[in-house]
Structures are given as C-alpha cells and as structure tokens.
Structure 1
Amino acid sequence: MSVSDEDRREAEKTGELVSKKLMEIMDLQADIDALLRDKHPTPFGSKNWQYACIEALQRIVAMTAIQFVLFEPEGRVKGSDEFQIAAEKLVQIIIAQLKTLKTKKSDW
C-alpha cells in the first residue's frame, strides 16, 4: 500500500502538532505539580522529553495524570483504594511500554 507524498506531509504536520500539544500538557502538569508540592522541584515537564515519539509522550501524559490522583490523601474520594490498585498496575504497564519506545535523541 503506497501513500502519496501529500498524505505523508499532512500526517507529519499532524504528528508535529500533536507532539507540540502533548508537550504543552506536560508543562501544565509540571506547573500543577509545583503548586501541589510547594518548595519541591517537579519531575514533570517537557524539557526531558523533547526527542520522545508521540506514543511515548501520550503515555507520559497519562502516567502523570494517574500519579496526580495517587497523590490525593487516602479516603478523600470513595473507591480511591480500588483506583490505587488499578492505577499502580497501569503505571507499571506504561513504564514497561516506555522502555520499548523512542524517548531520547540517541534512540533515533
């Protein structure tokens, strides 16, 4: 199956836009983390992920969102104990997937 040059260029443009938006989300997540964890450096943000592929960026954004929920005080939300069990498993899966994806300049 061949893809036209125009379709390929359009897909590349879309991919670049998606990457840019995911990086913006990551920077917002870093801002949120800085607000929640006063006087602690945040491990979140896009600066360490500038060479990551879209699939890696999506997983990093998802994992960060899950971790924010895990940071909530225990018992604040009904069912949070069940969420914690599922979330910890999901984070493990995401970490395993990230190990197979391009995330550094040297991976390209």
Structure 2
Amino acid sequence: MDYSEDEVNDAIKAQRLVCQKLLEIMDLQGDIDALLRDSHPSPFGSAKFKKARPEELQRMVMMTAIQFILFEPDDWVEGNKDFKVAAENLLNLTSSQLNWLKEKYPNP
C-alpha cells in the first residue's frame, strides 16, 4: 500500500503525540502512587520508557491502573476478589505481550 509523504508525516506526528500523552499519564500515575504510599519511592512514572513504542506505553499505563486496584483491600469495593482474579490473568497476558514487543522491536 502506498502512502503520500503527507500521510506518513501525519502518522508520525500522531504517534509522537500519542506517546507524549501516554508518558504524561505514566507520570501522573507515579504522582498518584507517591500520594498513596507513605514515604516509599514510586516504581511508576515515565523515566524508563522515553523510547518505548506506543503499544508498550498503552500496556504499561493499563497495567499500572490495574495494579492500583490490586493493592486495595478485598473489602473496599464489592467484587474486588473477582476483579483480582481477572486482573491477574490480564496482567499475565499483557506481560507476555510486552515481552513479545521487546523481542520484536528491541530498543536502540
């Protein structure tokens, strides 16, 4: 399939913007985590992922959001136990996808 130079440039710009926004979300997740923890450093944030592909960033954002709920006590929200079972499966699948992406597209 052939694409014009304008289409390619637009796609590149869109991908950069998507990555920028996902990195911003990751930083916000790090801020939220720091507020939830007493005095422990947060493992979340975008510092380690500046060169990641958008597919990787999307999965990292999702995994972090799920982990926030996994850290809640079971009795905080009805259904948390069921959520945690599904979340563990989703995290395992997502982790496998991230490993596949890392192998297919090694960072420079």
TM range (shorter): over 0.9
Aligned partner of 2:82 in structure 1 is 82
CA distance in 2 between partners of 1:78 and 1:2 (Å): 52
State the TM-score, normalized to the length of structure 1.
0.94
Structure 2-normalised TM-score?
0.94
Task: Give the superposition deviation at 1:102.
Answer: 4.1
Aligned to 2:57: 57
Corresponding residue of 1:47? 47
Q: CA RMSD in A?
A: 1.6
Residue 63 of structure 1 aligns with an amino acid whose one-letter code is: M
Higher relative contact order (CA 8 A, sep 6+): 1
**Residue 91 (structure 1) aligned with residue 91 (structure 2):** yes
Q: In the comparison of the two structures, how many residue pairs are matched?
A: 107
Return the alpha-carbon distance in structure 2 between the equivalents of residues 90 and 7 of structure 1. 34
What residue ranges of structure 1 are gaps of 5+ in the alignment?
none
Q: Which residue is equivalent to 1:101?
A: 101
Return structure 1 stretches of 4+ with deviation > 6 angstroms.
Answer: none
> Match of 1:45, as an amino acid?
G
Q: Percent identity?
A: 51
